[in-house]
Structure 1
């Protein structure tokens, strides 16, 4: 423990796990917020954008080349037909190969003079008559019976103009195939890239994940272990090295804080011992109630300085001295330490405990309750006993505990009422040393409520205790 554990704003500490390893498991559940997922997602989006741009560019280029090749073939056929008409000499007496497509010859006035059988046999072609104007002369693209066509014209000397048209089925099929492949790539590529990116991210961040697991197990109250560094001196290596250097600085700061705390406690110890002895002697001589109360307060301060000394050494170590005392004895002590407390329940029972430590634990609860309730508020402690447990219920009429603190209210130096924040932590540890527990929260009717439970005397006696003293210890007045 160190003074660096002083209370922090809720927005800073709300995600800090109370137990080692809890944060790592919650991070694994929240996969959408993991670095691995973000890297995989960015990789997927970048790859998808690159593939889309490249595919679109290649598709436009290929479709352009196919279209240009189609136009060259169309123009070659138009020129071949025009050549046969204007220069028939080389082809006389020879059987010429057929020219596919639709062919028509139009005179200089735009009237149809000749038409191929393929075009004439169509439903559209049946409406074309020789000597009438040709309707497709100026059309570069049109449909014939639902088939897309592309046409080209060439001059044919005295014959006028040769018109040749070819179906674009192959071109349309190539375009549709390209668009289908692009759409399929849009569907498959993101899934493949995301899985690949997730796998690559897992391998790339393996050292960082192992370091996170080790860092999650570090207990600052005991020791700040150094994280192992990966072999590759990359960004992960630099990050882990920086964390190790930070751990060294934190540990050095904790040691300085512990030394300072130990020195302060040491300086307070001697004057408190003298003050306690002087007040006890004065109380015995005069019988003054105020002096006796001051002696008890000095006694409690002595306990607190001892606890702080143990805290400065790194952890709280308390040894209990067991006694069986009447509950009324404990009630008298608490009444003198925290005046104005209302006692309810059955205080006629007996308690097996360390009287001094139990008094300290309950006094801390009552003092906090009085501070929260104010001088005009009420503070109540109720003693309830069953065959198995003894229960002390401390309740006040104050505003209650801050909801954002939760279980952190029991951590050292965490306080919701402006105190040092050490009392509740010490009280919980005293309850644990007795084999019991201390819980806290807000009462449904308002105010804070703390419940300290101890094992019953019969149960504790069965377990055996080497330091049991059946006699009531003398009270410190």
Structure 2
């Protein structure tokens, strides 16, 4: 059985802990107080019984003082006089059946009278015989029952009230912690590490937020160092790669050696990898897009040169509103990953579907598919399931989202991986819509 989410909260656990402590405290204190109360009641009852027995015996031992009449027996008490021969000479109401009974009298200690328990005390007389006095335990039993009911009520009500009050107090006390958790959950270390606001009261929540802010400052400093180092590496690689590509291009124009062509493709691969690294170093917020309204076939021609052997399907006569360089980079990364997964003889297909609201690029291969254990982590930087650098998918998703779209991936039914890159639609009919488009895309530089 799955417990509700609120039962896993810190507030509920604290309230439950306080409730258990209150239950233990009320149990111990309540039991001790009840035991002491019952002892006191028992002592008072026994003292009253002894007092009545002593008064009645004194009245019988001193008849000259006029004490010893039946009227002196209080309500709820019973009395009998037993002579020296052991015969019952007198009995109060309710005990007449014992008149004339012979001693030893059997009813000593605690006896039932009229179906009620009666406690007995005896006192010897000077002339012989003794006085038998009984006191009903009805009031004592009622007091015991009342004490037990109060104890049971305290064991039920006190923990329940403690749980409710602790829950309400915990909600107030942990409000700052909950707000801090919400703010911390909104932090995106890849784009922003702004410090969390600190509460005025310097309590445990204040200390926690201070520690989080210190951690964020360290993350920001570490990210700055990493981006600086990454930028320097890319810069150092850029110049040699540019020279290498130019040399291979000249060699390819003079010779038809397949090794030269293969080397040129490797150089292109390294160039795109450095572009991915540069984009990672700069970060999404520092990048801008130069929008163009271009025919999709221009993208197809560029992609066909970059990733030979790709099968293109769909409507490539449509127009696409995008940054051609960035979109080519994103689609090229997807096609390169698909080619690596499918192998040289495998099939890699890029399908384009355009609607007034969306432009959809679907890349599909017949390779082994994505590792199921990676899930969404496949889009994290440096996470790869096909032996690549692990940057391509991360950069491609970033480019898609910069365009206002998205990139998702998974395995299709026929086997192999499938990635779907979606961009907002670009249905332009007249100059008014072009102006509206430019208003929403301030970096729009050319509409062909």
**TM-score normalized by structure 2?**
0.83
User: What residue is the counterpart of 2:102 in the other structure?
Assistant: 132
C-alpha separation between the residues in 2 aligned to 1:410 and 1:430? 12
C-alpha separation between the residues in 2 aligned to 1:355 and 1:223? 28
C-alpha separation between the residues in 1 aligned to 2:140 and 2:417? 82
Q: Counterpart of 1:159 in 2: which secondary structure?
A: coil
Q: Counterpart of 1:322 in 2: which secondary structure?
A: strand
C-alpha separation between the residues in 2 aligned to 1:376 and 1:176? 91
Indicate the RMSD between aligned Cα atoms, in angstroms.
3.3
> Which of 16, 19, 34 is equivalent to 1:41?
16
Please tell me whether the aligned partners of residues 300 and 316 of structure 2 are also in contact (alpha carbons under 8 angstroms): no
- TM-superposed CA distance for 1:66, in Å, is 0.8
C-alpha separation between the residues in 2 aligned to 1:96 and 1:436? 104
C-alpha separation between the residues in 1 aligned to 2:415 and 2:275? 35
User: What residue is the counterpart of 1:17 in the other structure?
Assistant: none
User: What residue is the counterpart of 1:401 in the other structure?
Assistant: 370
Please tell me whether the aligned partners of residues 397 and 447 of structure 1 are also in contact (alpha carbons under 8 angstroms): yes
Within 5 A, what are the aligned runs for 1:53-452? 53-91=28-66, 97-100=72-75, 101-106=77-82, 111-121=86-96, 126=97, 128-133=98-103, 136-138=106-108, 140-288=109-257, 290-292=259-261, 294-315=263-284, 317-320=287-290, 322=292, 324-325=294-295, 327=297, 330-331=299-300, 333-341=302-310, 343=311, 345-346=313-314, 349-352=317-320, 354-374=323-343, 377-386=346-355, 389-403=358-372, 405-434=374-403, 436-452=405-421
Please tell me whether the aligned partners of residues 295 and 316 of structure 2 are also in contact (alpha carbons under 8 angstroms): no
Please tell me whether the aligned partners of residues 103 and 119 of structure 1 are also in contact (alpha carbons under 8 angstroms): no
Residues 168, 349 of structure 1: alpha-carbon distance in 2 compared, 3 angstrom cutoff:
same
- TM-superposed CA distance for 1:167, in Å, is 0.7
Residues 197, 296 of structure 1: alpha-carbon distance in 2 compared, 3 angstrom cutoff:
same
Residues 247, 321 of structure 1: alpha-carbon distance in 2 compared, 3 angstrom cutoff:
closer
C-alpha separation between the residues in 1 aligned to 2:424 and 2:166? 57
- TM-superposed CA distance for 1:330, in Å, is 4.6
Residues 274, 104 of structure 1: alpha-carbon distance in 2 compared, 3 angstrom cutoff:
same
- TM-superposed CA distance for 1:157, in Å, is 3.7
Listed as ranges, the gaps of 5+ residues in structure 2 are 439-443
User: What residue is the counterpart of 1:21 in the other structure?
Assistant: none
Residues 80, 236 of structure 1: alpha-carbon distance in 2 compared, 3 angstrom cutoff:
same
User: What residue is the counterpart of 1:51 in the other structure?
Assistant: 26
- TM-superposed CA distance for 1:75, in Å, is 0.9
C-alpha separation between the residues in 1 aligned to 2:317 and 2:39? 101
User: Once the two structures are superposed, what CA deviation does each residue of 1:126-181 show, in whole Å capped at 9, x if it has no partner?
Assistant: 3x35143566433x223223212211122224432322111111111111111222
User: Once the two structures are superposed, what CA deviation does each residue of 1:311-365 show, in whole Å capped at 9, x if it has no partner?
Assistant: 22333625346363563x6555545544554x15346635545554333222211
- TM-superposed CA distance for 1:437, in Å, is 3.5
- TM-superposed CA distance for 1:387, in Å, is 6.0
Does 36-45 or 452-461 show the bigger shift? 452-461
Residues 114, 190 of structure 1: alpha-carbon distance in 2 compared, 3 angstrom cutoff:
same
**TM-score normalized by structure 1?**
0.79
Residues 62, 330 of structure 1: alpha-carbon distance in 2 compared, 3 angstrom cutoff:
same
Q: Counterpart of 2:38 in 1: which secondary structure?
A: helix
> Relative contact order: is structure 1 or structure 2 higher (C-alpha 8 Å, sep ≥ 6)?
1
Q: Counterpart of 1:118 in 2: which secondary structure?
A: coil
User: Once the two structures are superposed, what CA deviation does each residue of 1:73-112 show, in whole Å capped at 9, x if it has no partner?
Assistant: 1111112222222332333799963344121234567x44
User: Once the two structures are superposed, what CA deviation does each residue of 1:32-71 show, in whole Å capped at 9, x if it has no partner?
Assistant: 1222222222112212221222122111111110110000
Q: Counterpart of 2:112 in 1: which secondary structure?
A: strand
C-alpha separation between the residues in 2 aligned to 1:296 and 1:351? 28
Q: Counterpart of 1:309 in 2: which secondary structure?
A: helix
Please tell me whether the aligned partners of residues 112 and 133 of structure 1 are also in contact (alpha carbons under 8 angstroms): yes
Residues 252, 227 of structure 1: alpha-carbon distance in 2 compared, 3 angstrom cutoff:
same
C-alpha separation between the residues in 1 aligned to 2:80 and 2:352? 115
Please tell me whether the aligned partners of residues 396 and 407 of structure 2 are also in contact (alpha carbons under 8 angstroms): yes
Residues 357, 204 of structure 1: alpha-carbon distance in 2 compared, 3 angstrom cutoff:
closer
C-alpha separation between the residues in 1 aligned to 2:258 and 2:386? 29
